[in-house]
Chain A
Amino acid sequence: MDNTLPIEFTVNGRRQAIRVAPHHTLLDVLRDDLGLTGTKECCLVGECGACTVMVDGRIVDSCLMLAVEADGAEIKTVEGLAEGAKLTPLQQAFLDKGAVQCGFCTPGQLMAAHALLAENPHPDIGEIQEGLAGNLCRCGCYYQITEAILAAAEEGVR
């Protein structure tokens, strides 16, 4: 019995029309149906932030959103940040400042940071720490992540 539902959405600029199981999350669909494995799965309860993506410009824990709720939405994942081989200033700053260790939380951190900078192009340290409080990093790169976001914000000015 096929109980899937049709949805259409745009993922990283590409229109997708697919059928999804009604109980599958956006995270399930991105990873398993679309093969976009850059978005990571960890806590499944919206606490760790590893699955953070942008939905219509706002960050969402994709483990908490049903895929059917994304019908008609515009989704951006970590794979959609760079333009071809060209990294965004934020991605580059993550590398330059040492904000990446094991890398597993990095996609979520980047998405949260992009959303923060879109909303507040010149955040201070407190705003960055609050803005990314929902993104856990067990390697403990928090200071470097903050430095990277500050550097990228600076870059945006120049």
Chain B
Amino acid sequence: MSTSFIGTSPNRVGGIDRVNGLQEYVADIRLPNVLEAKLVTVDCARARIISIDASAAMQVPGVCLVMTAADLPQPMPRFGPQNEDRPVIAVGETKFHGDPVAIVAAETKDAAAEGARLVRVEYEELPPVFTVAAALDPAAPLVQDPSLRGNDPLASTNVLHEHRVGWGDVDAAHADLVVENSYSFPMVTHFAIEPHAFMAAPDGDGIAIWSSIQHPNWLQKIMAKLLGLPLAKVRVFAPDPGGGFGGKQHTKYEPLVAFAALKTGRPVRLILTLDETFQAVRRASCEILVRTGLNTDGKIVFQDIKADYLIGAYTDIADRVVGKGSYPGAGPYNVPAVRILARSILSHTVPSTAFRGFGNPQINWAVESNLDEGARALGMDRLEIRLRNLARKGDAFIPFDTPADGHWDQAVRRAAELIGWGKPLAPGRGRGIAVGIKSGPTTGLSQSTVRLLADGSVVVFAGTSDMGQGARTVLAQIAAEELGAPLGSVTVVMGDTAVVPYDQQTSASRSTVLMGNSVLAACRSVQAQIRTMAARLHGVDESQISVDRGVVRMPGRNLTILEILKPGLGRLGGEVIGNGEGRKEAEPGHPLGGAPAFFEFNCTAVEAEVDTETGDTTIVKHVTVSDVGKAINPLQVRMQDEGAAIQGLGHTLMEHYIFDEKGRIRNLGAIDYRIPTSMDLPLEIHSETIENADGPGPYGAKGMSEGALLCVAAAVAGAVREATGVFIRDLPLTPERVWRALNERDGR
């Protein structure tokens, strides 16, 4: 029997509800008796809260609750995936523009909004720090109370953590040429079209929580600890998020909503506005200083990198972003000496969190751009310098880490071919090429259950969140393949911690690999039981039977699983149940807690045209080639890569937070913060994959979905450089910024 589902692109499982308007996101679920909630904030980046007067708000008909820090357990419960530094609600001082001081719950949205407007907050505005320089000033106010930071020697500074990685001797290395430049990467936000939504309801002697969250099990753990409940008494419902991109990984306002629900004894829901999501999640901005040592033959001798990531007021997962994102910062090259210092710097800004690429795009922007500048100084081709230094499969390019796990040069050569590297260019146009790498999951556990029902149909229980990447479809394809079921008879159940087995998280492009392996293992368990049935039914020794990809192979004949299942189950029917696990074990000695299960590797090449009158950049052609091991669903892979590429064009060309002098975000919302529309696309896009079936996932798959974003900025800036002769080292490359650089070039 042929491999019928793997490497094919059936329609998205669950897709019909998405085109009929029947897919239920959190905001679409309406519990009887639910109260609508609204946050109360103050209009500055940092304030000392003097008093909060709820009396007028409580007079509004329908308002049931105004909850402030004073109404919560004392001391204020704190939480966070890394450090438990985030209060359920601001206590004493607000730390960023949008940090809530109260929550109002009312019978209607109107009443909640009116109540929130009438909560009278008396506060004293305090000076905030919202740039790297201000945060590092010795006289700067401390963002976090040192008492929260234990014995941390940096506790009396705004540096939360310093991450150092390196090998070889940078200072002793001799280089023919040293290229040193500073680069900056802006604060950008996820802008999922579904704003974050949270709901909580008392549930017997426990609590039920609905959230548009990527990691329901992690939320369950945090809520159980905060509320002093057993895990089994915290039930998290996690309907498919309407886009996540990392911004929905971790707990945000679920604790606040849960306390409000427990206080009122009623369901309470909080649906953020898009503007409020800007104040809930963002990517860390970054200032990077790169010194690249090169020899005249183009070999990289050393990379000396300092990256200051401006994280927010509370850690969230930001420090992990900095540590993990900077670790492979020297890129997928064999570099004999590397020194990377990456710092997580606290500021009075929105807590930064995971965002597609997880800390890598910032440092990649600088290191890849600097390599371009080095190539130009050496008079060397930018493609050639990359190929000359690129790690080959098996190279320990980061000592003591996972060796290079793909034929990455194939991706680079293919991208160069597709963009027409080296061919003549029309006037006003330029090409750029860059490579990106990102560590996959360094630890992980995904458990699953597969039930083969009496008629041969299948139910898969998997805790992955399908936020658009298509995990449900891929998992269904694996189960259908292994159990010989039509794809249309496979159901995948997700998003309910009381029903679905444990999954650590949906992040780091892990699900096809870890949950895929888990579902594969659960199918193997089912297959083993089918084999036992076959042996019993046909009087053949089990050792002579194999079950694989839906086929039961016995001496002299092959049968389908269904042909064994029906007589095997007998008159009572029933079902066959298999459990599986996908693991990435921790390695305690490793600085990241473990070496990555795989790398995401991508090469992006673009051709751009710059309008010298306006500074506007048009991407004429965008090529993105990712090493994915095996595309289980090629169309979904293409969608992920193109989506990542377009998202990368956002931070490259247009997206950035704008602050006023008080640290308030001036461009909250869709009018003043632009993301790519259908009018901002590359005129042509080509996304391709390299598939050598050399990944750790099912059928040789690697994780993918972030790779195509990693190096977009450097590729575009390289093209702009070639088109105009100007290097721009600050993102985004807005028309204004490009126009100014052109004027400077021309001495205008």
Q: Which residues of A line the B interface, CB within 8 A? A: 21, 23, 28, 31-32, 35-45, 47-48, 50, 77-79, 81-82, 87, 91, 94-96, 98, 100-107, 110, 128-130, 132-146
Contacts and interface: CB of A to CB of B under 8 A. Distances in A.
B19 A101 contact: no
Nearest to A91: B19
B192 A138 contact: yes
A97 to B, nearest CB: 8
B19 A21 contact: no
Nearest to B18: A103
Nearest to B25: A104
Contacts of A139: 243, 468, 639, 643
Interface of B: 9, 11-12, 15-25, 27-28, 30, 109-110, 190-195, 240-245, 271, 273-274, 467-470, 635-636, 638-639, 642-647, 669-671, 675-679, 681, 685
Contacts of B647: 138, 140
6 interchain residue pairs of minimum CB distance: A38-B21, A104-B242, A102-B468, A140-B643, A103-B18, A101-B468
Nearest to B61: A1
- Interface SS, A side: loop
10 contacts: A41-B195, A45-B669, A47-B671, A79-B20, A102-B468, A107-B21, A134-B677, A139-B243, A142-B677, A143-B642
Contacts, number: 164
Contacts of A106: 18-19
A40 B11 contact: no
A138 to B, nearest CB: 5
A141 B639 contact: yes
B71 to A, nearest CB: 28
Nearest to B469: A101
Given A42-B193, A45-B671, A95 B638 contact: no
A102 B240 contact: yes
A45 B273 CA distance: 11
A87 B19 contact: yes
Nearest to A88: B19
Given A42-B193, A102-B467, A138 B245 contact: yes
A40 B15 contact: no
A92 to B, nearest CB: 8
B676 A140 contact: yes
Contacts of A129: 678-679, 681
Nearest to B643: A140
A44 B28 CA distance: 16
Which of B193, B467, B470, B675: most chain A Cβ within 10 A? B193
A142 B678 contact: yes
Given A45-B671, A136-B670, A101 B639 contact: yes
Contacts of A137: 193
A133 B21 contact: no
Which of A21, A39, A40, A144: most chain B Cβ within 10 A? A40
Contacts of B12: 95, 98, 100
Contacts of B642: 140-141, 143-144
A143 to B, nearest CB: 6
B428 to A, nearest CB: 21
Given A42-B274, A47-B671, A138-B192, A103 B468 contact: yes
Contacts of B18: 100, 103, 106
A78 B639 contact: no
A107 to B, nearest CB: 5
Contact of A79 (B21, B242, B644): B21
A144 B635 CA distance: 10
